[in-house]
Amino acid sequence: ITLALTIALPAIAYGYSLDPSWKYNDPLTVSVYISSSVPYSSDVASGYDNWDSLPQVQTSRSYNANYTEAYFTYSSVSTGAIAETSLIGSSDWKQITIRPEFKTLTSIQRQETVAHEMGHCWGLNDIYNSNLMDETLMRGIGFNNYAFPYQDDKNGIAALY
């Protein structure tokens, strides 16, 4: 008599998408500058601060635009996007451009937008899989009305750093 034993293990799935070329060289000393033209600067500061609970990354506020790794600026040009993150030169210099649509959001949505854009700064990509968007800050469209990294976002950061 042959006995077969099958063990069902839970599937390990993740939704995070990484872009290692955007990694910071030293993710524990990322300085953030907020241009005076950016509206709702307290929501901006709260949004990027929400990543600081992770052991792999740390931000601090800079008041000198010349010595910063994440630069928040405002553009009055509407592109249909709420905000956009661009890699400027090296991987340690990112510009986050806030657009006019940002002003129409609730406070929690503004914080979520900023936290999402900081996710790009860290090296996370947008997620468009509808089965995963409710469990990530990096959802490609819409809002969760939650401005903190989800477990999947944390796993992505841990995989990068």
Residue pLDDT, tens place only, 137-148: 999 999 999 999
Amino acid at 136: T
- pLDDT score of 1: 54
pTM: 0.90
- pLDDT score of 91: 76
Contacts 24+ apart (CB under 8 A), 83-90: 83/113, 83/114, 83/116, 83/117, 84/117, 85/117, 85/120, 85/121, 87/21, 87/22
Which percentage of the chain shows pLDDT scores above 90?
86
Those residues whose C-beta lies under 8 Å from the C-beta of residue 15, and which sit 6 or more positions away, are 127, 129, 132, 135, 136, 152
Taking residues 25-43, what's their average pLDDT? 97
Which residues, in sequence order, are bridge partners of residue 111?
Answer: none
pLDDT confidence tier of residue 99, bands split at 50, 70 and 90: very high
CB 83 within 8 A of CB 96: yes
- pLDDT score of 14: 66
Q: Phi and psi (nearest 5°) for 115?
A: -60, -40
- pLDDT score of 4: 44
- pLDDT score of 122: 97
Please give the Cα distance from 122 to 120 (Å, whole number).
5
pLDDT at 95 over 50: yes
pLDDT at 11 over 50: no
- pLDDT score of 89: 85
